[in-house]
Structure 1
Amino acid sequence: MNDEDYRYLAVRSGDARFDGMFYVGVTSTGIYCRPTCPATTPKRENIRFFRSAAAAQGAGFRACKRCRPDAAPGSPEWNARADAVGRAMRLIADGAVDRAGVSGLAASLGYSERHLNRLLITELGAGPLALARAQRAQTARILVETTTLPMGDIAFAAGFSSIRQFNETMRAVFARSPTGMRERSEHRDNAVPAGVTAVRLPFRAPCDLDRLFGFLAERAVPGVEELSHGVYRRVLRLPHGRGIAEISTGAGNGPGKGGAYNAANGNGTGNGHIQCRLHLDDLRDLGTAVQRCRRLLDLDTDPHAVAEVLAQSDLLGPAVAAAPGLRAPGHVDPAELAVRAIVGQQVSVAAARTVAGRIVEQYGKPLTAPNGGLTHVFPEPEDLAAANPEDLPMPAARARALQGLMAALASGEVDLGPGADRADAEARLRSLPGVGPWTAGYIRMRALGDPDVLLESDHGVQRALRYAGHAGPIGDVARTWRPWRSYATHHLWAMLAPAPEPGSPKQRPR
C-alpha cells in the first residue's frame, strides 16, 4: 500500500495519534477534517490528503465544524526535524512571519524567499504566507469564541492587516462570519474575567501530567513561576509586551485529576486538553504565547512513537511502562533557560532555584502590578552581561561563564530561538568558557526542544543507570534509544523518585 492507503486506514480506525499530522479533504462536501472526525468516513475516492491545514484551505476546503481540525495538536514532526523546513515551521508557529514578514523568516534561516517558498510548498503544499494565515485564523477564532472583544480589535490582534481581510479569511476558512461564530460559540467561559483569554491546549494521550507539573514545580524560580492548587503560573516575556500564563493540571477534568491522562475514551489513543488562561499586555502576542506554552509542556509529541522505541530497551522498558506519556519539558524563554543551566552546574535543584530567584530579585524588571507570587520578568541577557560579576550570587568562575553566555546571546553570536540550527548552537555554546557538555546539552534539550539529547554525564542519570543495574559506558545501548534520548533522560530521572503530587514538589535530580 502507498502512503495514502495507510492514511485512509488511519481515518477508518479513528486513530487520534494522527490528528495534526495530516488532514482529510472531502471533495463531496468541500470540508477538511481531522482523521478522527466523528462524521461517517467518506469513500476513498472522495478524499484528498494534506500535510497542513494551510494546504487544505489553499485548495478551497473549509474547516469542519464538528472536529475543528484547525485546533488539532501540532505535528510532532516539527519538534524532531532539524532541517530548514522544521526550523521554518517552528519560527512560523512563534509568529515570525507576522513580526518580520517572509523576508525576515527567510533571512533568519539563511535562504532566499523564493527558495524557502519552494521548500515549504514541496513539503507541505503551502508557502509561508499561507501557513501564517492559517495560524492567524486560529488565533482569531479563539478570540471570537472566547472573548467579548470588538471584532475590529480581534482582527488586528490576530495579525490581519484589515477588517475586510479578517472577515474574508474567517468566511473562507470556517464558512461562517465572525459574528455568526460568536453567536454559536459553545466555548466561552463566563467565569473568565475581562482582560483574560481562555484557551484549551490539546495533546495526544497518554500524558503524565503529575510528573510534568512536578518537574516544573520543583524548578519554579521565585518571582517568575509558581504552582499552587493544581495551577502552574509563570511570567512570559513576549514580542509586544509581557504576559502571565495560568495552566491547569486538570486536563479538562478538574484540578488534581491529571496523572497518566488517557482522554475520554480511556484507551490511550484519544486526545485530551489542558486549560490555559493568558493575561497579555498586547493581544498580538496570543498566538506566540500559546505556542510557547505548548513547547514548555511538550504537548506536540507523539507518546506512542516514543514508547515504541524506548519500551524495547531492557534497561528502560520498566520505566516506560511505569510512566506512560512522560514528557520532556521545553521552555518559554531560551535565554532564561540558559541562565538556569549555568546556575545549575554542580549544585542541587533546590540550590539552583534559590540562586535563580536572587538573580531575578536583583536584575529582573518588576511587574507593574504583582500577581500573587509573580513579581518580576526574568532579566534580559543584556542586563546580565553588563552586571558587575562580583554582584552575581555565584562563584566567580561561574559568574564569568554566565556573563560570557549572556553577551553571546545579546550580540547574536549564539542563537537559541525556535529557528536555530541545533548542532551549530551547541557547538557555539561549547566554545564559550565555562560551558561544558552537560550545560550545552541541557540547553539543547530544553531551550531548543531537541528530542534526542542524552545527558550522559548528569549525576542523576548516572545514579539511575546504577540503580537499574547498568555498569560501564552507555553509548552502545543509548544508540538504540534514538531519536528519543531526551525522553530516555527523563525516564532515567523518573526512576529515582515517585511522581510528586501537584503543588507539592519533591526533591529529584536535575
Structure 2
Amino acid sequence: MIDDDTRYRAVDSRDARFDGVFFTAVRTTGIYCRPSCPAVTPKRVNCTFYPTAAAAQGAGYRACRRCRPDSVPGSPEWNHRADLVGRAMRLIGDGVVDREGVAGLADRLGYSSRQVQRQLTAELGAGPIALARAQRAQTARLLLQTTELPVTEVAFASGFSSVRQFNDTVREVYDRTPSGLRAEAGAGRRGAAPAGTISLRLAYRGALDSDHLLDFLALRAVPGIEEVVPGERPGVRTYRRTLALPYGHGIAEVDGLGAGDQPDRGWLDCRLQLTELRDLTTAVYRLRALFDLDADPDAVDGQLGADPVLSELVRSRPGIRSPGHVDPHELAVRAVLGQQITVTSARTLAGRLAERYGRALPEPSGGLRMLFPATTALAEADPADLAMPEARRRALRGLCAALAEGEVRLDGGVDREAAAAELLALPGIGPWTVGYLRMRALADPDVFLPSDAGVRHGLVRLGQPGDPKAAAAVAPAWAPWRSYAVHRLWTAPSTEEREKA
C-alpha cells in the first residue's frame, strides 16, 4: 500500500509506473489524470487520489483530454489478488456486468449483490455498475475515435442500454458530445484501418520483452487457430488468432516491438475484426491477459533480480511477462493434451482436434481457418480421434464434461484454491496440469512447477541442482512472482550461450 505523499511524489516526477494504479483529481480544474500526465503538476492541497477512474468520475471529475487516464494499463493488483475485490474486478473487466448484470456478477462470486456492492464501494470508491460504466465510456471513446460507425451503433456496441444514457455518460466523462469527441480525433487517427477493423493500442507499463511473448506463443501456436507472421513494419512480428467471444467471434492481430522500438514504449499495436462489436471490451481484456500487459515489471524484476540464481537473467532480459490466455477452456484442453509429451507433439494433436471438431470461419484469414473446439464437442469426441493413451483420453473427456456442465469453472472470478481442488479431484489431472492452469488460465503470478522438465533443465543450465526437491527448495525466495521465475527458467541459456553473448 502507498500513502498520499508517495502518490504525490509520483505525480510530481510524472512516474508512468503508477499509471493505472491510482488517479489524481484536481479540485481547481475538475479534471482527473494519470500520474504521468505532462501537464503542470498541481499543488498538493488541490489533489485527491482515487484507486479507479470510476471513483474519480463518481466524484464529479472529468477525464483529462491530454493524458487520457481512461486508457492506461489496468492496476497490477488485479493480477495477483485472490480476494472478492480482485475476483470481481477481473470479471468486470471481462464484461460480465454488461452481459449478466450485478446479480450475475454476484452469483459468479458466491456473494449477495449487496455484499459485492458494499465491498467494492468501500475499497474502490465505486460499485460494480459505476466500474462497468467507466469501462463502457472508454470503449465508446475508442469506437468513436477509431471507426466510422454511426453514433447510435457505437452506443449499443459499447454496452449502453440507450442512446440517451450513452450521450449523458460521454458528456459527463469527457465534457464532449459523442460527435465532438469523434471530431477531436480528426486527423490524429492512426492510418486508415481496413473496413470492419478496429485499430487500437494496448497500453502497458515498464519494460516489455515482446520477443519472449511471441516466441512462447509461436512455439505453441495451433495450426488454423493462431499464428505468428512477419508484420507490416520491418523487423516486427505479428501474433494472429481467432477468438470465440460471448456474442460472436473475432480475429485479433497484435504486433510485437520492432528493432527500433524501446521496450518501455508503452503500447502494442492491435487490430480486431469482430462479428459483434459488443464483444470489443471482452476481446481487449482477454488480449491484455494473454500478453500480461497489466503486470508491474519493476516489482517483478526487482524481486527476482535480487536473487543470485536469477539476477543475471533479469539483467540481460528485463520485462519478461507471464502469458495468460484468451480462453481458459481451450487452455485446459491443451494442457491435458500436453501431458508427458513434447510441446510440438501437443500442438500437432491440438491442431488435429481443431480440424475435426472446431467451427470453421465463414472465410479464412491468412492461416486462420477455425475456432478452437468447444468443450461440449470434445466431451463427446470419438475415441478414434484422440490419439493418446487411454488414461489421458479419459482425463480429457472427463475434464471437458466438467467444464461444459459447469462443475469446474476457470473464469477470472473463481477462487483459485477451490478451482485447484476441483481440478485435482478429476481423474487424470495432476499437480503439473493444475499449476499450469493456475499460472495461465487464472493469472496466478505465484505458481511454481518443480517437476516441470523445462524448469529443471533451466536450473541445471544455471549451475543449480535440477531435481524437483531442490527446485522446490530454492523457489520460496522468488515469491510472490514464481510464475515469472518459471518463464525465466524456461528461457535460461546454457553456459556456452551466455559466454557467446
> For this structure pair, what is the TM-score category when the shorter chain's length is used for normalisation?
over 0.9
Relative to the length of structure 2, the TM-score reads 0.95
Q: How does 1:232-311 map to 2 (within 5 A)?
A: 232-250=239-257, 255-257=258-260, 261-263=263-265, 272-311=266-305
Please report how far the alpha carbon of residue 164 of structure 1 lies from its aligned counterpart in structure 2 after TM superposition.
0.8
CA contact (8 A) 1:451 1:486 kept: yes
Q: Could you list the per-position Cα deviations for residues 110-167 of structure 1 after superposition, in whole angstroms to 9, with x for gaps in the alignment?
A: 1111110000001100000000000000000000000000000000000111111111
CA contact (8 A) 2:379 2:398 kept: yes
Of residues 382-391 and 33-42 in structure 1, the stretch that sits farther from structure 2 once superposed is 382-391
CA distance in 1, matches of 2:473, 2:40: 48
Aligned to 2:199: 198
Confirm whether residue 386 of structure 1 aligns to residue 387 of structure 2.
no
Confirm whether residue 424 of structure 1 aligns to residue 418 of structure 2.
yes
Aligned to 1:145: 145
SS in 1 for 2:282: helix
Confirm whether residue 448 of structure 1 aligns to residue 442 of structure 2.
yes
CA distance in 2, matches of 1:400, 1:257: 49
Aligned to 1:503: none
Aligned to 2:330: 336
Q: Which residue identity lines up with residue 246 of structure 2 in the other structure?
A: P
Q: Which residue identity lines up with residue 133 of structure 2 in the other structure?
A: R
SS in 1 for 2:491: helix
Of residues 117-126 and 345-354 in structure 1, the stretch that sits farther from structure 2 once superposed is 345-354
Q: Which residue identity lines up with residue 311 of structure 1 in the other structure?
A: G
Confirm whether residue 360 of structure 1 aligns to residue 354 of structure 2.
yes
CA contact (8 A) 1:358 1:393 kept: no
Please report how far the alpha carbon of residue 352 of structure 1 lies from its aligned counterpart in structure 2 after TM superposition.
1.0
Percent same amino acid among aligned pairs?
58
Aligned to 2:223: 222
Q: Could you list the per-position Cα deviations for residues 43-75 of structure 1 after superposition, in whole angstroms to 9, with x for gaps in the alignment?
A: 010000000000000000000000000000100
Please report how far the alpha carbon of residue 317 of structure 1 lies from its aligned counterpart in structure 2 after TM superposition.
0.9
SS in 1 for 2:412: coil
Q: Which residue identity lines up with residue 13 of structure 2 in the other structure?
A: S
CA contact (8 A) 1:70 1:138 kept: yes
Q: Could you list the per-position Cα deviations for residues 367-418 of structure 1 after superposition, in whole angstroms to 9, with x for gaps in the alignment?
A: 1111110001000000000112232122222111110110110111110011
Confirm whether residue 479 of structure 1 aligns to residue 480 of structure 2.
no
Q: Which residue identity lines up with residue 177 of structure 2 in the other structure?
A: S
CA distance in 2, matches of 1:341, 1:256: 33
SS in 2 for 1:417: coil
Q: How does 1:30-179 map to 2 (within 5 A)?
A: 30-179=30-179
SS in 1 for 2:204: strand
Q: 1:110 to 1:494 in 2, by over 3 A?
A: same
SS in 2 for 1:383: helix
Relative to the length of structure 1, the TM-score reads 0.93
Q: Tell me, which stretches of 5 or more residues in structure 1 are unaligned?
A: 264-271, 499-510
Aligned to 1:396: 390
CA distance in 1, matches of 2:381, 2:347: 20
CA contact (8 A) 1:389 1:400 kept: no
Q: 1:256 to 1:407 in 2, by over 3 A?
A: farther
CA contact (8 A) 2:336 2:392 kept: yes
Aligned to 2:401: 407
Q: Which residue identity lines up with residue 365 of structure 1 in the other structure?
A: R
Please report how far the alpha carbon of residue 475 of structure 1 lies from its aligned counterpart in structure 2 after TM superposition.
3.0
CA distance in 2, matches of 1:211, 1:497: 17
Aligned to 2:29: 29
Q: Tell which has more relative contact order, 1 or 2 (C-alpha 8 A, sep 6+).
A: 1
CA distance in 1, matches of 2:14, 2:449: 37
Please report how far the alpha carbon of residue 190 of structure 1 lies from its aligned counterpart in structure 2 after TM superposition.
3.7
Q: Tell me, which stretches of 5 or more residues in structure 2 are unaligned?
A: 231-236, 496-501
Aligned to 2:428: 434
Aligned to 2:499: none
Q: Which residue identity lines up with residue 262 of structure 1 in the other structure?
A: D
CA contact (8 A) 1:92 1:128 kept: yes
Q: 1:73 to 1:497 in 2, by over 3 A?
A: farther
Q: 1:497 to 1:406 in 2, by over 3 A?
A: farther
CA contact (8 A) 2:456 2:471 kept: no
Of residues 214-223 and 461-470 in structure 1, the stretch that sits farther from structure 2 once superposed is 461-470
Please report how far the alpha carbon of residue 257 of structure 1 lies from its aligned counterpart in structure 2 after TM superposition.
4.4
Q: Could you list the per-position Cα deviations for residues 159-189 of structure 1 after superposition, in whole angstroms to 9, with x for gaps in the alignment?
A: 1111111111001000111101111105523
SS in 2 for 1:118: helix
CA distance in 2, matches of 1:205, 1:307: 10
CA contact (8 A) 1:20 1:74 kept: yes
Please report how far the alpha carbon of residue 497 of structure 1 lies from its aligned counterpart in structure 2 after TM superposition.
7.1
Q: 1:241 to 1:437 in 2, by over 3 A?
A: same
SS in 2 for 1:347: coil
Q: Which residue identity lines up with residue 487 of structure 1 in the other structure?
A: Y
Please report how far the alpha carbon of residue 191 of structure 1 lies from its aligned counterpart in structure 2 after TM superposition.
2.3
CA distance in 2, matches of 1:154, 1:307: 40
SS in 2 for 1:152: helix
CA contact (8 A) 1:390 1:396 kept: no
Aligned to 2:234: none
Q: Could you list the per-position Cα deviations for residues 221-266 of structure 1 after superposition, in whole angstroms to 9, with x for gaps in the alignment?
A: 000001110111000000000000011113xxxx4545x7122xxx
Please report how far the alpha carbon of residue 101 of structure 1 lies from its aligned counterpart in structure 2 after TM superposition.
0.2
Q: 1:2 to 1:198 in 2, by over 3 A?
A: closer
Aligned to 1:315: 309
CA distance in 2, matches of 1:371, 1:2: 47
Aligned to 1:266: none
SS in 2 for 1:176: coil
Q: Which residue identity lines up with residue 237 of structure 1 in the other structure?
A: A
SS in 2 for 1:232: strand
Q: 1:46 to 1:224 in 2, by over 3 A?
A: same
Q: 1:2 to 1:87 in 2, by over 3 A?
A: closer
CA distance in 1, matches of 2:71, 2:413: 23
CA distance in 2, matches of 1:465, 1:2: 35
CA distance in 2, matches of 1:2, 1:337: 36
CA distance in 2, matches of 1:26, 1:327: 34
